[in-house]
């Protein structure tokens, strides 16, 4: 069984495929992995921008990060985690069975099925980065990458628009509030 984070793709653009992630999560087993920062590193930022512990939170492309469970343990109970890998959703749901208010759903962030104004905040901790891994110039991405990233942002704006305040956008994580 591979250690978390050790299952690297042959080609960088594989980060943008469901097949890569299913294979990675299968090989890593019960391991967790946090890209960029852990909750303890950004908790003060999240608490300042999201002081209401009853906020409706959507975790976009949750993967096997512990961010959701750490936020839950810090008092944020209304968290819905989505990822397009059924492997990781099954594993993380089982791992977090003792956190009953948290939900785990298989869903593609480019085609979310939530009603408008369902969430107060959406957090993307690296999913958009994975969609942007192509052979092309990162500063001049192919149209498909632009379309995929636009779909994610459009979906987020659709269900958080009423509470959206661009001045509260954090860049340490892609957080839409």
Residue 71 vs residues 23, 54, 86, 92: alpha-carbon distances, Å:
27, 12, 22, 14
Q: Please give the distance of CA 80 from its chain centroid, rounded to a whole number.
A: 10
Give alpha helix (H) positions in 56-142.
67-73, 86-95, 127-131
Flag residues of the chain having pLDDT under 70: 1-6, 12, 126-142, 144-177
Q: What is the pTM of this model?
A: 0.75
- Of 89, 93, 64, 71, the closest CA to residue 5 belongs to 64
The per-residue pLDDT for 155 is 58
Domain boundaries defined on the chain: 12-176
Q: CATH classification of 12-176, choosing from 3.40.50.620, 3.65.10.10, 3.40.720.10, 3.40.50.150?
A: 3.40.50.150
């Amino acid at each position: 069984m591979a250690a978390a984070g050790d299952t690297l793709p042959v080609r960088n653009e594989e980060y943008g495929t469901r097949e890569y992630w299913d294979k990675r999560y299968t090989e890593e087993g019960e391991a967790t992995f946090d890209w960029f920062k852990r909750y303890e590193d950004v908790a003060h930022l999240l608490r300042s921008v999201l002081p209401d512990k009853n906020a409706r939170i959507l975790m976009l492309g949750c993967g096997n990060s512990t961010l959701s469970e750490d936020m839950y343990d810090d008092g944020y109970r209304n968290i819905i985690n989505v990822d397009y890998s059924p492997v990781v959703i099954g594993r993380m749901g089982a791992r977090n069975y003792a956190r009953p208010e948290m939900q785990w759903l298989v869903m593609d962030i480019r085609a979310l099925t939530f009603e408008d104004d369902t969430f107060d905040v959406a957090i993307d901790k690296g999913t958009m980065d994975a969609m942007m891994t192509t052979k092309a110039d990162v500063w001049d991405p192919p149209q498909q990458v632009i379309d995929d990233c636009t779909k994610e942002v459009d979906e987020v704006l659709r269900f958080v628009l009423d509470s959206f305040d661009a001045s509260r956008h954090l860049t340490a994580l892609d957080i839409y509030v």
